[in-house]
Amino acid sequence: MNILEAYDLTGSLRDAAELAGCSHHIVARYVAGREQGRLVPGAPASRPGIVDAFLPKLEELAGLVPGAEGLAGGERGPGAAGCRGW
C-alpha cells in the first residue's frame, strides 16, 4: 500500500507504517513533505550530484587532455589506452 494512502486511511504514523511496511519515521517524512508541497506523487526527488558544481572545470580540463575525446562510452578501459595485456 502507498505510504500516503495508508496515512490518509488511518491518520496514524505507526498504523500507516505497519500497513505500508516501513518505518513510522519514513511516514512522518512523507507526510511533512506533502504538507510543505515538496512531495509530488510519482516524481523522483532531484538531488544535485557531487561534481555538478565542478562540471564546467572538469569539462575544460578534459578538453586539454590529448585524445580524451576518443574515450567515450565503451571505449574506456586499458584497451583504449593502448594496453593489450600480457
pLDDT tens-place values along the chain, 86 residues long:
789 999 999 999 999 999 999 999 999 999 998 888 877 666 666 778 888 888 888 888 887 766 655 445 555 555 555 666 55
Q: Give just the sign of the alpha carbon dihedral 32, 35, 36, 38.
A: positive
Distance CA 68, CA 48 (A): 25
What letter represents residue 17's amino acid? A
Residue with cell 593489450: 84
> Model-level pTM?
0.47
